[in-house]
Structure 1
Amino acid sequence: MQRLFFALLIILSMIFTALYFYSVPVIKKKVFDIELTSSRIVLDSVFSLANKMYFDTEKLRSQALNSHKQQLQAVVELAESYLDTEYEKARNQGKTEQQARQQAFDTIRKLKYGSNDYIWISDYNSVILSHPDPRYHGQDVSERLSNDGEAAIPTMVKIALDQGQGFHQYQWFRLDAERQQDKVSFVKNYPQWGIVIGSGVYLDDLEGDIARIRKEAIQELREGLKEIRIASSGYLFIFDADTNMLVHPNPNIDGKNFLDLISPSTGNPIAKDLIQVADTGTELSYKWDRPDDPGNYIYDKLSLVRYLPGFDWYIGSSVYVDELRSSSELLAERILTIAIIALVIALILLLLFSQWVTRPIKQLAETAVKVTEGDLSAKSGIRSDDEMGLLARTFDDMVDRLRDNINNLDSKVEHRTQVLAEKNLELQDASRKMANAKQALALSEQRQRLILDALPAQIVFTDSDMNILFVNQRFADRVQRDKTAVINRPLHKMISPKIFSAISKQLDEAQPGEPSIVEYKDIRDNKELIFKRTLIPFCNADNSVNGILILAIDITAEKDALRHLNEAQRMNAVGQMAGGLAHDFNNLLTIILGNLYSAGDHYRHDDELTRYLDPAIRATRRGADITSRLLSFSRRQPLSPCLIDLETLMNETLQLLSNSLPDKIKIDFINSTDALSPFADPGRLEDALVNLAFNARDAMPDGGELRFSACNLEVDSLLVMDEQVNPGNYIQISISDTGCGFSTLAQEQAFEPFFTTKTGGAGSGLGLSMVYGFVKQSKGYISIENELSQGATIRLLLPARSEAAVIPELVEAETDHPQQASGKLVLLVEDDHDVRAIIRQQLIDMEFDVIDTHSADEAVRLIPLLPELYALVSDIMLPGELNGIQLADWLKPQDSQCRIVLISGYSYQQSEGTPIDPAYTLLNKPFAAAELKQAISRATRVL
């Protein structure tokens, strides 16, 4: 028995030893291969995912281009709708089609959407009628070629004429850019207007979206790769062809260029080695350090690399060799442990069985061997009633149950595998549909955000039951709710009952399919705004209305601009008429005043006559003052603009006013200007401020406060005063009072000449009109801000310059009597017979010899025939080809010693734009003989 036991012990030991040495190395190799294969499978899965992302990106690029094309069509159609609206409004308001067309083109020119995209309009001859870039607006671009040698605009005009509408890709400049870029435009022909309307998108904008999606793809890969491990610490990484590490678990390498990392095995950059083995099917074996042993490059690593051409990426796996082997080593250790335990148990059982039975155990052993070899039909054959028989029956029953369980398990596994495969297919289909739906939703939101949110309008789309299906951001802001809180809600619950009542009539018209346009007013922040509301019904295939589009556009600025333009045109017409009247009236006053002075000189000893002449002279002088104010209003008053020291001028003006205004009126001045100074005539500015102060005094009979303030104002956006203000730097001077304010009528007609609210002939009505004319002649702007019974503020906006300046001191000219006038020859040129007679007599009274003529052309023929000419006295406005200034310019090089005096009924600056030489002396009508004599004296000092 002992020999049998030891023999069996030796046999079992040899069997277990043989099994270990013949099976464990194979198992270790298989496990190593399995781990390596697992890393390849993971790498291939990630590569497939990245490749799918690339194809999804390419598909998205195509979809994005189609989406932008739909957007371009919608923008052009919106421009068409706007032009239709403007033409209809022009017909209703009695405007010309050209006015409506120009106003619409100006508005469309300012419209921007998307990435600074715009709308352009061309006629059939490739002349740009509307374009935000001044390089092309109003230009003929039929010969202008892009970098690829194509005449882009003529090509698109031809497409529109031949096809009615279409798309075209070409190269064009961005706004304010000097480099051409690829662009796709949609153009459409409108033969009813004879124009082509187009709008485009730059392909670089699409690439920006794709770059953003690619960045998101990298982030998704980064998040996914965080959860992937090969062996215990192996990982996946991604880098591009420029060796920039896009995804890596090590933050010291992630997002950086790793070209400077050298492989100690080859001496080459590790990046180049990885690129070299990409898609070869073999791993790169090299030495590297460990995170717990940095800098010690002695550990073997394996990396497998795949190349993704679409993204130009390299996707690789990295794992330490000893970690791949660790699983097999662990499995081998566990097998050895199990084997030792099994050997010990077998020895114990062998010892027991060898002591009690031999043959039944042998039978059982043989049966067990058959079972282990896969013969589940084997039986022990032991039939006894003792423990061994019971064990044998139990063993046989166990084998039978094991056989049945295995068969059932195979059947269940097969069925379950089939069910899981079907569920997996359903899950993949659902995932694909969800991804498509998500992509479609993203594109829809992008179109809404780019097109509708960019439009300066409130937009609502409802179904036929007036339930809101869509709104843009402007409408959501108007009702002070989020978009999600408005969708699928009834329209009447989202707007006030008053607004819904106002829109109900339009909704009733839209239900049968009739579009409608209505202008209405709305009060916001205590300010009245004007809106244009358009309702457009949408019909389905059977022409029944299934939706209504509601657009509300703020046209307050357009209305204000139109009103200011009409007022400016009316004031300009009144100014031209006033200037003409003043010119003619000055001639009449010259005749009257000259005759009055002559009568006074001849009958100076007749006190009775003098008593009548003096009031007539004073009345004539007042008439001259009125014409001076009319000339100021009509912008024909002579000015001497310069840079003004505003602080000094205001102090002097306030000193003058403090002596003229009642003590119960408090005067205050705040100066907030810096280095800039107003550029205007200081004397006229002082007159204007005094005029405004006296008007404020009349508005405060019981006293009050008069405030002057000045500040710098840089205009770089829309600003409307009496008209739209041009961009630039200005000095704003504000004059505020606490008086009764302007009435509505007074505010509308305040600047018109002869309009006054004073009774009993207390005012001439030329004060504010003079201020208005001075401001406009100085290229400035003026406005009235008024609160009835609470005071008014008048703001003057004058051009500003940065050069230091002070008010030029007014030096009283010395009056030199000309040398002995007797025998001196003076040429008088005046077209008005009576005025010429008066001036001729005044010169004769000064003892000059006078030759007179009615035109400059005749004077040119006379002057060469005359002896030495002492002086020329000429009116500026003369009949014929030459005026007075041109006559003086012709005479000056002919006779440099001749004194030149020019006379005029209004500013020489309006004489057909002809500049005047500062050497000439200017004398304004009407004037007395003494003033003419003094003018000749000043002319003497000039030469």
Structure 2
Amino acid sequence: MHNKQSFLLGGGEIGARMRAHDWAATSLGPPETWPQSLKSAISTCINSPVLGAVLWGPELRMFYNDAYIPAMAERHPHALGRPVAEVWGESWDTVAQPFWQLMDTGEGFIHNKVELPMTRHGQREITYWGITASPIRGEDGSVVGLYNQGFEITSRIIAERERDVAETQLRLVNVKLAEEVTARTEERNLMWDTAPDLMLILDFKGIFRRVNPAWTQVLGYSADELVDHHINEFVMPEDHAETVAAYESAEYGQHPRVINRYRHKDGSLRWISWAAAPAGKLTYATGRDITQDKLRETELESTQEQLRQSLKMEAVGQLTGGLAHDFNNLLTAITASLDLISRRIEQNRHDDVGRFISAAKEASSRAASLTHRLLAFSRKQTLAPQSVDPDQLIEGMLELICRTVGPLITVEHVGDPTRWAALVDPSQLENVLLNLCINARDAMPDGGRILIETHNVVCDSEQAVERDMPPGEYVRLRVSDTGSGMSPEVAARAFDPFFTTKPIGMGTGLGLSMIYGFAKQSGGQAQLTSIMGQGTQVAICLPRHVEKTRTEQPLAEALAPPVGEVSEVSETILIIDDEPTVRILVAVALQELGYITLEAETALAGLVVLQSDQPIGLLLTDVSLPGGMNGRELAEAARVTRPHLPVLFMTGYAAHALFEDANAETAMAVLTKPFPIATLVSNIRELLQSSPADADWMEPLPA
């Protein structure tokens, strides 16, 4: 079959008929021209073991699977591709309303015990069904069809009615049995002996006192194997507690209903639905074997889960495609800039080299920003938390925020003079604040108001459970807008990864999930409330810093010497990274500043150098290294013989928990990739200046 029609593979009889059908002669056209959403739905449907149909387009044209054929009767195979109203006639009129409503609203439904008059094989009958329907959406998000599944429960409904009659009769008999208290009357009861359902008499301790012959037919046990035994000897352990609760409630006059699982004598599993009633000091109960219904429900749930996974993978595909597009654009800018720089050097033309260098730097910075957003979403970014004055940070960003949201939107900041300092990564908090304001702007295309507030929050143990965060003291940063707001359904999914209400190509669905990931990784929480037509409010709670907020040192450029200036230093730095380009560039930059450098590609190779008598002033290592030992483990091994060795970790992907003790006291620091050379040098100088004079002293190894 042509690859474009591969979605029609399998499917049994229906699959074969669809492949052989001349679709080009219909209004749908050849299958290879059908929308991807129709192809995916049909592929799932025809290969499903559960009765199902795809109802496509404004006329709801039918595509169904082999499991549907018995229900179609004489309508098969002529129904294939025809409007559902033509196929089912008055039967469709009975159930059509929720299907059309689903086409309008996009909200799926599950209906149980649907009564459906139906003519099959010329015989009119009343049938009962369990029906579920889900929307099929096109590329623009609109509902273009329905995925309908169900199973016929006519026999079960009839059996339940028969059981209710039998239960009523049993209660009457039970009253009579309780009055007469004779086994002779019970044995003469024809219903007891011939009923297909399980019947039992149980005392209030759970001991079988009598069972009917159906136990042998349904579960394989004789009366002698059951009587005087506890009921839980035959019930699955997971259902023991519910079974005990049922017969204990009967002792207090209740009429319990319970569904539990029994072991058949052959080892298989049976689901039994029970109805019980007390009489005197005994419980009388009747049970129906519903194993087949449970199996059908399980199959239905499995098929729905497969469909959900298929839709999720489609969303992941859209996300990765967008990211690949963005990265290719950025790599093109970097590659082109480097190519032009190389040409200008060959031509001995240096007048516009600076412009190309700036372009490459800008593209690199944007690529790093995109990577950090992904890491924040996955809660894998490396954070550098410190004491931050949130109001000071907000005031420093107000001008940028106002320019970003435009003149139609008013931005207000209301600070709290008594608020605490927060323990947070300031650069990541700036990104979060800017993203929240951009989201607010998008919700107010005609203008509006953004309010940024800060407050102190104390979370006790009870509130901690409600808010899913540790108890303690927090600083809350809240951003409110007067925009269009969200429906309760959208607000409930706002923090979900890949979820977005924007059109394809206009958003990845990572924004709010990134903010949620950042808040959780920082030790706090993010919460969202929204009202349709009134606006949205996002609050981020960040842990309080117990020390007074201090003014942060300017960026590393203030600490580093001007590029090209060689310091009078002689420290030896061991560089370990499995990426040769990173090692070479870092080594060259440090050598130009007067440092002596050694290089290693793996942790084991670096450990050989560290265990030699080579003087080493500082270890500069990547965290993720090949060979079974990571950078943190390498540092711990190195400090066995060099206890005061300063260590600077480089990482672009690591959990912050690895570096909770990285500070001046431990002579360790963390540097997030990518980084400017000036920032690298600044971190190296700080570590070398804070380390003891005997930093490269080596303890002798044990003999």
TM-score norm. by structure 1 comes to 0.35
User: Larger C-alpha radius of gyration, 1 or 2?
Assistant: 1
TM-score norm. by structure 2 comes to 0.45
